[in-house]
Amino acid sequence: MNAVRFQQVSRHFGQVRAVDRVDLEIAPGEFFAMLGPSGSGKTTCLRLIAGFEQPTGGHIEIFGETAEGVPPYRRNVNTVFQDYALFPHLNILDNVAYGLMVKGVGKSERVRAAEQALELVKLPGYGARRPGQLSGGQRQRVALARALVNKPKVLLLDEPLGALDLKLREQMQEELKTLQRALGITFVFVTHDQGEALSMADRVAVFNDGHIVQHGTPHDIYQRPKTRFVADFVGSSNVIAPDVMSSLGGERRWASLRPEAIRLTEESGVPATVKALNFLGAATRLSVETNGAHLHVTVPAGLPTPDAGTSVRLAWQPADVHYMDDAA
């Protein structure tokens, strides 16, 4: 049985096809990421699972039960939003226990459950504070505790780390993955951040124009993109046209070549000219021109870095070139 299953699901808003005939299966206990640019359909799919939207067509199941027509409060799912949606007039303990109160759970039981949920997200002793007294990262943890206290079978996360600074976001990525593994709950995570999806998810679905254009493990998505869109959107890749690829000694097909797969060599290789450099700390990113094509090359820190205007030679392993479908 799948945790979530979409069969030819569509959601149209007038003439706009936000989601168009999507098929999707998410396994129980899986950390599943929906990745795509704004307007790609990923958030609408999340809202369809939550019950905030109803499908225009198709069929949705949550753990084998039909979901269309079922209101959100009758689905065994909970959602963590990007803005956290905490009640400013309630203290943290009451915020976390709110869903249990609505369900009619007794005060002593819901207080105990809320305190356990706060310990789970590493906020013991914070129950008496108000949301305004917490940092962004702490409020994110409270929102997570409020969702988890209801013990949902599926936890939906709608870009919950988007408002955090880089350092805290990276920390929360690790904590979310650790928490998901410990609880064994199905996590469905929506993001436009490729790094988040690749670092946390067991599987990733890449959305574009209301469709899933590719799904698979993070390694498959990154190393073997099926289309030019996936290669360009997920990570950073050199998407090379057939004529250029042929001139570089490869097949006359669209190809993806990751910048870190290209190395500078003093021996035989493809001649190129360095046009610009970007220092990134752990590496330097070169923009080079060769055979009429612009490529990016990643040079790890500690290796010699040529200056702009320098002539260099490029080399890569044939296996590092991934050929793609002609579809954009």
Residue ending a domain, choose from 230, 262, 277: 230
- Are residues 145 and 36 part of one domain? yes
- Are residues 134 and 214 part of one domain? yes
pLDDT at residue 163, as a whole number:
67
- Are residues 271 and 193 part of one domain? no
- Are residues 190 and 310 part of one domain? no
274 with 299: CB under 8 angstroms? no
- The domain in which residue 56 lies consists of 4-230
Domain membership flag for residue 236: no
- Are residues 188 and 74 part of one domain? yes
User: HEC profile for 201-231?
Assistant: CCEEEEEECCEEEEEECHHHHHHCCCCHHHH
Residue 328's Cβ-count burial label (10 Å; 0-12, 13-18, 19+) is exposed
Measured between alpha carbons, how far is 85 from 323 in angstroms, rounded to an integer?
Answer: 45
Q: Where do we find the tokens 């699972």? A: 49
114 with 123: CB under 8 angstroms? no
Q: Give the tokens for residue 319.
A: 């296996």
Query: Within 13 Å, how many C-alpha atoms sit on residue 190's CB side?
Result: 24
- Are residues 160 and 44 part of one domain? yes
CATH code of the domain containing 319: 2.40.50.140
The domain tally of the chain equals: 2
- Are residues 176 and 144 part of one domain? yes
Domain membership flag for residue 240: no
- Are residues 12 and 130 part of one domain? yes
pLDDT at residue 168, as a whole number:
78
Per-block mean pLDDT, blocks of 10 residues, the chain (328 long): 96 95 97 95 96 96 95 91 85 93 91 92 91 88 90 91 77 87 93 90 96 96 93 90 91 94 90 94 94 91 91 94 82
Domain membership flag for residue 246: no
Domain membership flag for residue 189: yes
Residues 6+ positions from 107 with CB-CB distance below 8 Å: none
What's the pTM value of the predicted model, to 2 decimals? 0.89
Domain membership flag for residue 28: yes
Residue of 31, 22, 34 whose CA lies nearest to 3: 31
- Are residues 158 and 29 part of one domain? yes
Secondary structure of residue 245 in the 3-state scheme: helix
Measured between alpha carbons, how far is 263 from 219 in angstroms, rounded to an integer?
Answer: 21
Residue ending a domain, choose from 230, 245, 268: 230
- Are residues 284 and 190 part of one domain? no
Domain membership flag for residue 157: yes
CATH code of the domain containing 105: 3.40.50.300
Residue of 188, 146, 141 whose CA lies nearest to 29: 188
- Are residues 223 and 90 part of one domain? yes
Q: Where do we find the tokens 């004529």? A: 243
Q: Where do we find the tokens 């905030």? A: 52
Domain membership flag for residue 188: yes
pLDDT at residue 207, as a whole number:
97
Residue of 313, 280, 317, 271 whose CA lies nearest to 299: 280
- Are residues 260 and 149 part of one domain? no
Q: Give the tokens for residue 261.
A: 């797969």
pLDDT at residue 300, as a whole number:
93
